[in-house]
């Protein structure tokens, strides 16, 4: 076991859980991780209590623009929810164990339903920027897996099943919520890549051939860790750009963030409609 994975093991997770409880009180059974450009959702929370991730021992601090590193507990449409505004990514040089840490803390604190959101490039040619996609399944193309190394059965089994990473029940709830909120959604397969460079057009063609509809640099690591712990996962992608080679424009982070921000209104309505049903 590496020093990092020992340092972020079960006892460290339990320490962080204690701090979260001390600072935020009871932890609700539902949590949301907000992706790039989608952090504004926290403004919709009532009676919000905010904690900086720097205040939680072991919690890795995000280094990228658009990822604030806040843990917010509050109510949305009358339901208590815990929101993580900001996450760490493998491309920052973080280990999969570091990316896993926050999800493990949530799981041990009692979160049972985890909503993972992200901004993603659209591979499916019918996905224009602004499309909201319910993730049906994923391709882990990051080159790593957060469960590599000795398995701690207090988190979950050595060889966890991944037949239904993204809960069928929660996907059906997302569809119902989308209909009621009047927010169109589509469904698809999310390919999680390492980054930080965007893909080449050849890589996008390869991912398309493999069945991917969208591509991004987050979510799959967290989803695997959450399933390992038996949490129910819902994944939502906000398509921020056509993936490389699907139009003539070069990709830029500024465009990705701007497109995610433009879709934030619809995204927020969808999320609220989902949360009232959980």
Residue ranges in contact with ligand HPA by CB under 6 A: 119-121, 198-199, 215-217, 240-241, 243, 251, 256
The least distance separating ligand HPA from the CB of residue 48, rounded to whole angstroms, comes to 27
Question: Closer to ligand HPA at the Cβ: 111 or 215?
Answer: 215
Question: Closer to ligand HPA at the Cβ: 49 or 202?
Answer: 202
Beta bridge partners of 252: none
Question: Closer to ligand HPA at the Cβ: 30 or 36?
Answer: 36
Distance separating alpha carbons of residues 238 and 264, to the nearest angstrom: 9
Give the helix ranges, DSSP H, for the chain: 3-7, 10-24, 96-109, 168-181, 201-209, 220-228, 253-262, 264-277
The least distance separating ligand HPA from the CB of residue 168, rounded to whole angstroms, comes to 26
The least distance separating ligand HPA from the CB of residue 222, rounded to whole angstroms, comes to 15
The reply to whether omega before 196 is within 30° of 0 (cis) is: yes
The least distance separating ligand HPA from the CB of residue 237, rounded to whole angstroms, comes to 9
Distance separating alpha carbons of residues 217 and 274, to the nearest angstrom: 24
Question: Closer to ligand HPA at the Cβ: 45 or 193?
Answer: 193
| Residue number closest to ligand HPA, CB atom | 121
Helices first, then strands: H and E counts in the chain:
8, 9
The least distance separating ligand HPA from the CB of residue 19, rounded to whole angstroms, comes to 31
The least distance separating ligand HPA from the CB of residue 216, rounded to whole angstroms, comes to 4
DSSP state of 243: P
Q: Name the phi and psi angles at 152, rounded to 5.
A: -100, 110
Distance separating alpha carbons of residues 246 and 204, to the nearest angstrom: 9
Do residues 120 and 216 touch, judged by C-beta distance below 8 A? yes
The least distance separating ligand HPA from the CB of residue 87, rounded to whole angstroms, comes to 13
Question: Closer to ligand HPA at the Cβ: 183 or 212?
Answer: 212
With tokens 């690591």, the residue in question is: 221
What's the sign of the alpha-carbon dihedral 226, 230, 234, 239?
positive
Burial class (CB in 10 A: 0-12, 13-18, 19+), 3: exposed
The least distance separating ligand HPA from the CB of residue 162, rounded to whole angstroms, comes to 22
Question: Closer to ligand HPA at the Cβ: 234 or 256?
Answer: 256
Query: What value, to the nearest 5°, has the Cα angle with vertex 83 and ends 29 and 130?
Result: 115
Question: Closer to ligand HPA at the Cβ: 58 or 192?
Answer: 192
Question: Closer to ligand HPA at the Cβ: 199 or 264?
Answer: 199
């Amino acid at each position: 076991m590496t020093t990092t994975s020992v340092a972020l093991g079960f006892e460290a997770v339990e320490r962080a859980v204690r701090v979260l409880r001390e600072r935020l009180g009871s932890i609700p059974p539902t949590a949301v991780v907000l992706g790039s450009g989608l952090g504004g959702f926290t403004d919709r929370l009532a009676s919000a209590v905010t904690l900086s991730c720097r205040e939680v021992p072991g919690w890795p601090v995000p280094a990228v623009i658009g990822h604030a590193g806040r843990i917010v507990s509050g109510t949305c449409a009358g339901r208590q929810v815990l929101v993580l505004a900001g996450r760490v990514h493998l491309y920052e040089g973080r280990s999969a164990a570091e990316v896993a840490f926050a999800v493990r803390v949530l799981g041990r604190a009692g979160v049972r339903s985890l909503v993972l959101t992200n901004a993603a490039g659209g591979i499916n040619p019918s996905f224009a920027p602004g499309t909201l996609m319910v993730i049906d399944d994923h391709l882990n193309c990051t080159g790593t897996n957060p469960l590599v190394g000795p398995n701690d059965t207090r988190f979950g089994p050595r060889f966890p099943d991944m037949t239904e990473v993204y809960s069928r029940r929660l996907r059906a709830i997302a569809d119902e919520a989308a209909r009621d909120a009047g927010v169109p959604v589509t469904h698809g397969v999310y390919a999680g890549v390492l980054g930080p460079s965007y893909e080449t057009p050849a890589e996008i063609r390869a991912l398309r051939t493999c069945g991917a509809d969208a591509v991004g640099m987050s979510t799959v690591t967290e989803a695997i860790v959450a399933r390992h712990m038996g949490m129910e996962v819902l994944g939502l992608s906000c398509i921020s750009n056509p993936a490389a080679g699907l139009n003539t424009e070069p990709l830029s982070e500024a465009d990705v963030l701007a497109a995610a921000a433009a879709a934030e209104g619809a995204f927020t309505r969808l999320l609220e409609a989902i949360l009232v049903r959980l």
